[in-house]
Amino acid sequence: MKTHWGIAGLTLWLGGAGPTPRVSPGPIYQVHAIQYATLSGFPANALILGADSTRKIDLSMMVWLLQGEGRTILVDAGFYRDEFLKAWKVGGFSKPSEAVARFGVAPDQVTDIIISHMHWDHADGADLFPRAKVWVQRAEYQFYQDPKNQARTGVFPVDVAMFEKFEREGRLGLIDGDSQRVARGVFVYTGGRHTKESEYVSVYTTSGQTILASDNVYLFENLERHRPIAATWDTVSNLLAQDRMRRLAADPRLIVPGHDPAVFTRFKVIKPGVALIE
Domains along the chain with CATH numbers: 25-276 (3.60.15.10)
Helices marked H in 64-177 — which ranges? Answer: 82-87, 96-103, 120-123, 138-145, 157-169
Confirm if 210 and 187 have CB atoms less than 8 A apart: no
In 3D space, the residue among 265, 268, 271, 113 whose CA is nearest the CA of residue 206 turns out to be: 268
Q: What angle do CA 118, 12, 262 make, to 5 degrees?
A: 55
* Its pTM surpasses 0.85: yes
Strand partners for 181: 187
In 3D space, the residue among 184, 237, 217 whose CA is nearest the CA of residue 18 turns out to be: 237
Q: What is the spatial distance between Cα 21 and Cα 179, in angstroms, rounded to a whole number?
A: 7
Distances (CA, A) of 78 to 15, 49, 85, 184: 26, 24, 12, 24
Give residue 22's pLDDT.
44
Give residue 134's pLDDT.
99
Q: What is the spatial distance between Cα 57 and Cα 45, in angstroms, rounded to a whole number?
A: 10
- Which regions in the chain score pLDDT beneath 70? 1-25
User: Strand 274-276 vs strand 133-137: parallel, antiparallel, or unpaired?
Assistant: unpaired
Between helices 138-145 and 157-169, what is the axis angle to 10°? Answer: 120
Give residue 3's pLDDT.
35
Give residue 10's pLDDT.
30
Give residue 25's pLDDT.
66
Distances (CA, A) of 178 to 16, 40, 98, 102, 274: 11, 34, 32, 34, 30
Helices H, strands E: what count in the chain? 8, 16
Q: What residues have CB less than 8 Å from 127, skipping those under 6 apart?
A: 162, 165, 166
Give residue 152's pLDDT.
83
Give residue 89's pLDDT.
87
